[in-house]
Structures are given as structure tokens and as C-alpha cells.
Structure 1
Amino acid sequence: MIRLKDVARQAGVSITTVSHVVNDTRRVAPDTLERVQRAIAELGYRPDSVARTLKSNRSHTIGMIVTTAHNPFFSEIIRGVEDHCFANGYSLVLCNADDVENKQLAYLQTLLDRRIDGLIVMTSRNGPAFLEALRRQGLPTILMDADPEPGQDVGVVNDDSPLGARLAIEHLLAQGFEDIALLTGPEDHPRSRERLAGALATLTAAGIDTPAERIVTTNLLAGGGFDAMQALLENRPRPQAVFAFNDLVAIGAIRAIHEWGMRIPDDLSVIGYDDIELARYLTPSLTTIHQPIYELGATAIAQLIERLEHGRPLDSIRSLAPRLVIRESVESRRHRDSDIGDTNLTG
């Protein structure tokens, strides 16, 4: 086993100097630093990470608990976190909790046993027991896709969901649609609640009442979007347009519409939310609300590392603005009606 004294002998310096280089505890002259790093590489020296953690009380490890890494939205968030961790010399330990509180609690304990320096939580449902456990630990924590939680060393990073919903509805209204169905998420999902509130407020401001049958709850997965769209299409009158609260729901809805032999956007327009990579490759490509997904993850971890490295307090709420991305799945109703009128006049 290669030890510090072996590196010191190879580099021709003291053990203390090697320790400063390895632990980054003091500036070392450039030529000395180069000799030590070369000796480390030649000998294949690897610091004892457990000993370093115990000595410095820092592991340079971040824990992250998510609902599931299989969802492309979460995958892009994770990539933003992981890239920033790697660039700053931190390791990331990822746990998929499936929004099950017992799993969240178990993974929290596992991460604490790993002596993580900070935590990012991106789950749709944070139960009281889990939140209480977080408060007891006092660990620097960023919550994502969640309601703000009071507590020391807790920050929140989200997209501005009410704004995103308003952009989606305003676009549909501008195309001449008034009968708009909303495919929402569960009532206890924070972002879904905000998107529903933003959508309904925008419709109300336009003088449009939305009946209860035009609001269909889904599980925010493609299968949920498919089932919700099937239910809408079984009843008459059918909506003119659909606002799905994420792109997976929109994808499921599009499949159902195709199975009914209807065309998008000719027979029914669809707008999604998130702008996952797949959205641009659908046929037709999906008009959607772009969340800065990668940036959300990068913003969360950047805040956390600033807190750990420089003591900067976490922002209680950091909100990133979404934007509308116009593609092919929404067609202007006014334009279509004009074409029909022109055909009737010349026919």
C-alpha cells in the first residue's frame, strides 16, 4: 500500500507538503506541486477517502433523491446536477424513491451514513415524516419540484409554473380555441396545482368558464395521458384543443387521438409542458412549454456548492422562467375556418 511518506520520498519533499497537496489545505509552489502530483501518478497513490472525511468533516459527496431516473425530465435534471458536481470535484449518489415515503426515509439514512455534505430532493410528494427528518438533520438541502418548506439551510428551485401555464393557454386562445381540455396531475402535486391555477386564471380572464368535465386528472405518465384522452374522446362534444401538464401526458394523448382515427392538429390541437428531447421528434412535433430542465439541475447544485464552499446562504426560492416553443401540434383555428370559408365560396 502506497503511503504519504512514499510519495514524499519520491518527490523529494516533506510528508507535510504532500499532505497539503492532497488535502488542498495550503498553497504550494508550482514546481513543488508538479513534483508531488507526478509522484502521486507514478506511484498510483490513492488517498484514504474515509480518513480524509473523518479528518476534514467533508466527504465532497452530494446526495440526490428523485422520484425516478427513468423519466426523461428527471434524467435531464440529473445530468445538470452531475455535470456540475464533476466539474467541482464532488461525487453524486443518486437514489430513486418512487415517491414512497418509507423509501425516502430509508435512502435519507443511507445518504447520511455516507456522510454527504449536502442533499438535493426532487420528489413530487414529501410527507411529514420525511420533512421532519430533514429538519432534524439540518443538512444543507435543495428541494426541487416542491412547495417551499420553512427551515434553516433549505432552498427551493422550481420553474415558474403559473407563468408556463399562462403562456400555453394564451397561445391556444390566440389561435382561436375556446373549448380547451386540461390534462392535469394529481391534486397533491405542487407543480400541477400551480399549472392548473395559472391555466384557469388565464381562461377566466378571457371570459371562458372551464367545466369540470374538461379537467381530467392523470398520473403524469404517458399511460395516464392516453387514458385521460380516451375518456375525453368518448364523450361529445369533443374539445378543440388539449393542454397536457407535461410532455409524457401529451405523448399518451397523441397516441389516443391517433387510435380514434383523428389527425393532429387538423382535428385537435395538443400542447405539452417540459420540452423533453423527444418532443421535437414526434410526428407532428410537439408544441410545448420549455422548462430550462438542465439549468434547473445546474442551478440547484451550484447553489448548494456555493453554500458548502463559501458559506453563501441558500435562496429560499429560486424560480426559472419557462418559454413557449411553437412546433406542429397546434394549428390556428382561425386560419382553418378561413380556408373552409374560402372553399365554400368557390365551390
Structure 2
Amino acid sequence: MVRIIDVAKKANVSTATVSRVLTNSGTVKKETTDKVLEAIESLNYQPNLLARQLRRLETKTILVVVPDITNTFFSKVLRGVEEVANQNGYQVLLGDANNSIEHESGYLNILRQKKADGMILLTANVDAQIVEELASQYPVVLACEYTEGSNIPTVSIDNISSARKATEHLINLGHKRIGHISGPFNSVLGRDRLKGFQQAMAQHCLPVESFLVQEGDFSFESGFNLMLKLLALDRTPTAIFAANDEMAIGAIKAVKSKGLKVPDDVSVVGFDDIKFASIYEPALTTIGQPSFDIGKKAMELLIRLINHDELDKDQYILEDRLIIRDSCKESL
């Protein structure tokens, strides 16, 4: 087996120089670096990464916890995380909380047991105090979801403003009787997107009747079932703002199941811009989140925390955009 001392002899340098080249640390002349890399290649040297990590108490692994792996929105976020992680020599361990506080809490132990160097939470269901205590001892970043009043570094969009924008699009098309299929009221995303809906309606002096707001769980099934409830009303809404695309697509399916058409009979707006939103018929008008950039930024912040670098600020708000497609039309 080829050892680091064999590489040093071949390149006529010290083992410390070889180590600096391998870890890209310290200043090594380009000529010397080239010699070392040539020796590594010719000898087919495989560095003992595990031993080095043990010496430094590193795992070169980070944990990303998602609320529900079946929600396709998170795939782009994870790709952003992976890109930055790979560039910096980190592996990504994925944890699916399956919308369970117990599962999510269990993943926190991976960090406590030092089986990962840091954690990115794409869900914020666990008690805020527990997460705060964890973040005071280990590198933790929140992305997509957030905890109100927290000092944990967070990357997200402004969900209230985005929901207001989605609702105002329907209002500008002349809709007055607008329903909202919300996320869970116990989630910050559910509450904030409901708040944005309510703000837009209030600003345009439009009433929000309680039965026009139905609490969903971000799933296709809840969008379908809750839309059926709204369609059973004596006066059905002419437009729906759903708090995510999966529920919006479920709502469209429910409209079609009753022999009605979107947008001719009901206009629908979603949230997230998952890939299926542009493929579905009709193509879904939605709020596009910069999901890939959210993942990249979250991983960049986590690396800074792992390296004990100072952060410029705790909260990073990225820009969303309203994507207008075929699922809305002017109210008659």
C-alpha cells in the first residue's frame, strides 16, 4: 500500500508539504504542488481521509433534514446544497422527517453525537428553544422555513409579501370571492401565507369569510378534498390561492372532477413553482422561489459556521417572482 511518505520521497518534498497540497492549506509553490500531484498520480496514492478526519474531529458530512421527501419542491434546494457541499469536500446525509416532530427531533441527535459537522434544517417543527440550544453548540442553518425571532442563520423568501402578491394577481383580474387553501396553521409557512392573503384582501376592502379559508397540509390530497368542500358551497369562489403547488394541482383536479374548467370557471394560483407546475394542464400560475439558490446559500453559510467565520447577518431574504401561466383569467 502506498503511503504519504512514498509520495514525499517521489516528489522530493516533506510529508508536511504533501499534506498541505492534499488539504489545500498553507502556501505551496505551484511548481512544488505540480510535483506532488504528479507523484500522487503516478503512485496511485489514496489518502486516508478517515484518519485525517478523526485527527481533526471532522466527518466531512453534513445533515439536511426535509419535512417530506415526497414534496418535489425540495429537490432543487437539495441540488443547491449538494453543489456547494461537493465543491468543498462534504458529503450530504439526507433525513426525511415525514412531517413528524418525533422524527425531526431524532435527527438532531446525529449532530449531538458528532456524526455530522453541521445541519441544514428545511423544516422548523421542533420546539424553537431546543433548536436554539442546539445551534448555540453546533453549526445549524435554517432554510425555507424559519423560526420567528430566532438568531439562527436563516435563508428564505418573504412569504407574507409573496402570498400578498399572489392574491393581488387574482384581485387585479377582477376576482372578489377568493378562497384560500392554506398550509397547516401550526407551521410558520402556513401562517405567513395566510397572513399575506388576508392582507391583500383587506387592502382591497374584500371580505374573507371564514369558510373560504380551508386548512390543508401541503399535500395533493388535501388540495383535492378541500376544493371539493369549497365547490359544495352555495356561492362558490371564483378563484383560489393555494399555499403550495401540490395543493393547487389537487384543487384543479377537483374542479375538473365536477365537470368544471380552470380557468373558465375557477382561477387557481399556487406557490413554489415545482417542475410539474409548468407541465400540468392548465399550466399553473404560481410564486417561484429561488430554491436552488436557497440551497446554495444555506450550504455556504453552514461552511462559514463550521469554519468559525463571522457572518454578515443572520437572516437572508432572497427574491421570489410571480410566474403567470394559464390557470387564471379575468373574472366576468
Q: TM-score higher than 0.5 here?
A: yes
Give the corresponding residue for 1:228: 226
Q: Which amino acid aligns with 2:153?
A: G
Cα distance in structure 1, aligned partners of 2:314 and 2:297: 13
Matches within 5 A, 1:56-205: 56-127=56-127, 130-131=130-131, 134-135=134-135, 138-144=137-143, 145-148=145-148, 150-151=150-151, 154-205=152-203
Could you tell which deviates more after superposition, 281-290 or 32-41?
Answer: 32-41
Structure 1 position 41, deviation (Å): 2.5
Q: Which residue of 2 aligns with 1:14?
A: 14
Distance 1:25 1:176 in 2: 62
Q: Kindly tell me: are residues 221 and 310 of structure 1, through their superposed partners in 2, closer, same or farther at Cα, counting changes over 3 Å? A: same
Letter of the 1:34 partner, please give it. Answer: D
Quote how far apart the aligned CAs of 1:70 are.
Answer: 2.5
Residue pairs, 1:263-278, within 5 angstroms: 263-278=261-276
Q: Deviations over 1:155-207 (max 9, x none)?
A: 11111111111111111111000000000011111011011111101101111
The answer to whether the 8 A contact 2:3-2:45 is kept is yes
CA distance in 2, matches of 1:204, 1:90: 48
- The structure having more radius of gyration, on CA atoms, is 1
Structure 1 counterpart SS, 2:287: strand
Q: Determine if contact 2:216/2:226 at 8 Å carries over to the other structure.
A: yes
Q: Distance in 2 between matches of 1:4 and 1:114?
A: 28
Q: Compute the displacement of 1:54 (Å).
A: 3.0
Name the counterpart of 1:343: none
Aligned partner of 1:140: which letter?
A: P
Counterparts of 1:29-48 in structure 2, within 5 Å, are 29-48=29-48
After superposition, the Cα gap between the structure-2 partners of 1:311 and 1:129, relative to the gap in structure 1 and judged at 3 Å, is closer
Aligned-residue offset at 1:107: 2.1
Amino acid of the structure 1 residue aligned with 2:291: I
Q: Which amino acid aligns with 1:139?
A: Y
Structure 2 CA distance, aligned partners of 1:155 and 1:163? 20
Spell out the pairing of 1:215-294 with structure 2 (5 A cutoff).
215-294=213-292
1:283-329, CA deviations, whole angstroms, 9 ceiling, x for partnerless residues? 11101111111111112112222343471226322112221111100
The alignment yields a C-alpha RMSD, in angstroms, of: 1.9
Alpha-carbon spacing, 1:38–1:310, altered in 2? closer, same or farther (3 Å)? farther
- In the TM superposition, residue 149 of structure 1 has moved relative to its aligned partner by 5.3
Distance 1:112 1:41 in 2: 38
Residue pair 2:111, 2:138 contacting (<8 A) in 1 also: no
Pair 229,318 (structure 1): closer, same or farther in 2 beyond 3 Å: same
Moved more, 179-188 or 308-317: 308-317
Q: CA deviation at 1:111?
A: 4.1
CA distance in 1, matches of 2:38, 2:114: 30
Q: Distance in 2 between matches of 1:100 and 1:42?
A: 51
SS in 2 for 1:324: strand
Correspondence 1:311 to 2:309: yes
CA deviation digits over 1:28-63, x for unaligned, max 9?
Answer: 221221121122223332222232123334443322
Please identify, of 244-253 and 292-301, the stretch whose mean Cα deviation from structure 2 is larger: 292-301
Gap change, CA 1:191 and 1:142, over 3 Å in 2? same
State the alpha-carbon separation in 1 of the partners of residues 27 and 308 from structure 2: 18
| 1:190-242 C-alpha deviation (Å, 9 max, x unpaired) | 01101111110110111111111100011111011001111111222111000
AA in 2 matched with 1:138: Q
Q: Is the 8 Å Cα contact of residues 80 and 294 (structure 2) preserved in structure 1? A: yes
SS at match of 1:227: helix
SS in 2 for 1:274: coil
CA distance in 1, matches of 2:166, 2:272: 11
Structure 1 residue ranges without an equivalent (≥5): 338-347
Q: Distance in 1 between matches of 2:127 and 2:319?
A: 27
Structure 2: stretches of 5+ with no match in the other structure: none
C-alpha offsets along residues 118-172 of structure 1, whole Å, 9 cap, x if unaligned? 211111412357426524x611211121224545xx2111111111111111111
